[in-house]
Copies of this chain bind each other. A is one copy, B any other.
Amino acid sequence: MKRSVIDILDLTTAEIDGLLSTAEDIMDHPAKYAEKCRGKKLATLFFEPSTRTRLSFEAAMYELGGNVLGFSEPNSSSASKGESMADTARVLSCYADIMAIRHPMAGAPYVAAQNASVPVINAGDGGHCHPTQTLADLLTIKRKRGSLENLTIGFCGDLKYGRTVHSLIAALARYPGTNFVLISPEELALPSYVKREILEGQGIAYRQATSLEVVLPELDILYMTRIQRERFENPEEYERLKDSYILTAEKLNRAREDLIVMHPLPRVNEISVSVDADPRACYFLQVLCGKYMRMALILKLLESTAADVAPFADSVVFDKLRCKNPSCISSKEQELRHAFYPVSEENGIYRCVYCEEKVKL
List residues of A whose CB falls within 8 A of some B CB.
34, 39, 41, 43, 49-52, 55-56, 58-59, 62-63, 65, 67-73, 75-78, 80-84, 86-87, 90-92, 94-96, 265-269, 273, 284, 287-288, 291, 334-335
- Flag if A71 contacts B69 (CB, 8 Å): no
- Flag if B81 contacts A266 (CB, 8 Å): yes
Report B-chain residues with C-beta under 8 Å of the C-beta of A55: 43, 69-71, 92, 95
Report B-chain residues with C-beta under 8 Å of the C-beta of A63: 39, 41
- Flag if A87 contacts B49 (CB, 8 Å): no
Q: Which of A50, A62, A83 has the most CB of B within 10 A?
A: A62
- Flag if A72 contacts B78 (CB, 8 Å): no
Report B-chain residues with C-beta under 8 Å of the C-beta of A49: 75-77, 80
- Flag if A76 contacts B59 (CB, 8 Å): no
- Extra 18 A-B pairs, beta carbons < 8 Å, given A39-B65, A95-B291: A41-B63, A49-B80, A51-B71, A51-B76, A51-B77, A52-B78, A52-B91, A56-B94, A59-B94, A59-B95, A68-B69, A72-B76, A87-B267, A91-B287, A94-B284, A94-B287, A94-B288, A269-B334
Which listed residue, B41, B58, B267, B269, touches A59 by the CB 8 Å rule?
Answer: B41
Report B-chain residues with C-beta under 8 Å of the C-beta of A65: 39
Q: What are 11 A-to-B residue pairs whose CB atoms are below 8 Å?
A: A34-B39, A39-B65, A52-B78, A55-B92, A71-B72, A73-B75, A78-B265, A78-B266, A81-B266, A87-B265, A94-B287
- Flag if B265 contacts A91 (CB, 8 Å): yes
Report B-chain residues with C-beta under 8 Å of the C-beta of A334: 269
Query: CB-nearest residue of chain B relative to A34?
Result: B39
- Flag if B62 contacts A67 (CB, 8 Å): yes
Give CA–CA (A208, B56) in the complex, Å. 52
Report B-chain residues with C-beta under 8 Å of the C-beta of A41: 59, 62-63
Give CA–CA (A69, B51) in the complex, Å. 10
Report B-chain residues with C-beta under 8 Å of the C-beta of A56: 94-95
Report B-chain residues with C-beta under 8 Å of the C-beta of A34: 39
Report B-chain residues with C-beta under 8 Å of the C-beta of A82: 266, 268
Query: CB-nearest residue of chain B relative to A90?
Result: B284
How near does chain B come to A94, taking the closest CB pair, in angstroms? 5
Report B-chain residues with C-beta under 8 Å of the C-beta of A76: 49, 51, 72-73
Report B-chain residues with C-beta under 8 Å of the C-beta of A70: 55
- Flag if A59 contacts B51 (CB, 8 Å): no
Give CA–CA (A190, B358) in the complex, Å. 52
Report B-chain residues with C-beta under 8 Å of the C-beta of A77: 49, 51
Give me the 10 closest cross-chain CB pairs, A-B, nearest first: A83-B266, A59-B95, A49-B76, A58-B69, A62-B67, A94-B288, A94-B287, A72-B76, A78-B266, A51-B77
Report B-chain residues with C-beta under 8 Å of the C-beta of A87: 265-267
- Flag if A51 contacts B78 (CB, 8 Å): yes
Give CA–CA (A171, B308) in the complex, Å. 44
- Flag if B51 contacts A94 (CB, 8 Å): no
